[in-house]
Amino acid sequence: MTNNQILEQRHFNLADGERYLLVIHRDGKNQVYTRKYQNKPVMSPEFKEAKTFQTQKALDQTIKTVLAPNGYNFTVFQVKDLFEPRYYIVYKDNTLQTPYIRFYRSWYIKGEDPVNTYLDRIQAQEVLDQYKVQLIQYHHSKIMELKYLNIL
């Protein structure tokens, strides 16, 4: 298994919505299949840690060799069934470090509405533009502080 099969470790790509993942039902909990160890499934409650399968053939092979022999109940989903792409924006303003902005897209579980995430690109762009203005104002204030600095 390569790391790029894990949803969380892949660069965002809208085509990943077509990939498959396995949700295992065990002890009243839903967990995702992440890998196999000694022909038994390793599971995680964190859905972004799911191993994704690009083809039905690869998925069927895992079901046949890992899940079916061990008697696990499972459901096959596509990424787009459980996740939705959202824009994520973070503005960090630390007094000891220079502020910075992060803007990217990622997959988030449907129904959740994390802070600083947006479904609409236009809304995300408006927030990003506001953060850019704040960043420019921050740097301007630092420059103005230097303007009045006196060397003794």
Cβ neighbour number for residue 16 with a 10 Å cutoff: 18
The pLDDT assigned to 100 comes to 66
* pLDDT tens-digit profile, the chain (152 residues): 445 688 888 888 888 999 999 999 988 899 999 999 998 999 999 999 999 999 999 999 999 999 999 899 999 999 999 999 998 887 776 554 565 667 778 888 998 888 888 888 888 888 888 888 888 888 888 888 888 777 76
Q: Locate the domains of the chain by residue range.
A: 3-82, 83-147
Query: What is the Cα 115 distance to its own chain's centre?
Result: 14
| Token duo for residue 140 | 């301007």
